[in-house]
Amino acid sequence: MPERRDLHNWLKLNLHRLPYTASLVGESVDKSMHLVKLSAGTESVDSLEAWQDQFRQRFEDGLPRHVTRMWPKREAEILDGGSIYWVIKGLIQCRQRILRMDEVDRGDGIRRCALVLDPTLVRTMTAPKRAFQGWRYLKPADAPPDLPQNRQNEDALPPALAGALADIGVI
């Protein structure tokens, strides 16, 4: 354990490396490759859920989708139980299981990928994430754990507070 004056830096560097187990996080998501994506224009997990509920009614199967221009090269690893982790207000706050990938043709000759998602949004421990374009792969070891089942319906902390607490390794 580091000296007291270096505890803050040690926590920032090492807290995310702690092993996550099924008993701690509910469902284990530590085997598959994941994606992380900014949820632009979303204010909260609830607003993401409301937007997806409205959008998914367009499809016969009623499942939400996220259409992306790039097709993941690691498709098999993702479809083996992977999730998309949503960044809302600079923090990873929830995830959705990726069920399949469908090809989308908008008539312009560009092959697009529709990530077909489980409608259930699973809240996770918040984790800060800087802005980026598109999606990125998220290694299982870097994925924040799910909130325990008894905390899934809690109101989220205000983004600024959650970000500050995540920066110092408290959450």
Distances in Å between the Cα of 149 and the Cα atoms of 10, 88, 120, 136, 145 are 29, 21, 13, 27, 12
DSSP summary character for residue 146: B
| pLDDT over 90 (residue 4) | no
For CA atoms 149, 52, 38, 141, the dihedral sign is positive
Tokens read off for 65: 């989708």
pTM to 2 decimals? 0.72
Half-sphere exposure (CA, 13 Å, Cβ side) for 33? Answer: 11
More confident call, 170 vs 88: 88
State the DSSP H helix or E strand holding residue 137, giving kind and residue range, or none if neither. Answer: strand 135-138
Residue 136 CA to residue 134 CA, distance in Å, equals 7
DSSP E strands, 5-81: 34-38, 65-68
Confidence at 6, pLDDT banded by 50, 70, 90: low
107: pLDDT confidence band, cut at 50, 70 and 90?
confident
Residue 35 near residue 82 (C-beta atoms within 8 A): yes
Tell me, what's the pLDDT at 140? 94
- What value does the mean pLDDT take over residues 127-155? 86
- The whole-angstrom separation of Cα 95 and Cα 144 is 9
Could you tell me the two tokens for 145?
A: 């754990």
Render pLDDT for 14-42 as a digit per residue (tens, 0 to 9): 555 544 433 334 444 457 899 999 998 89
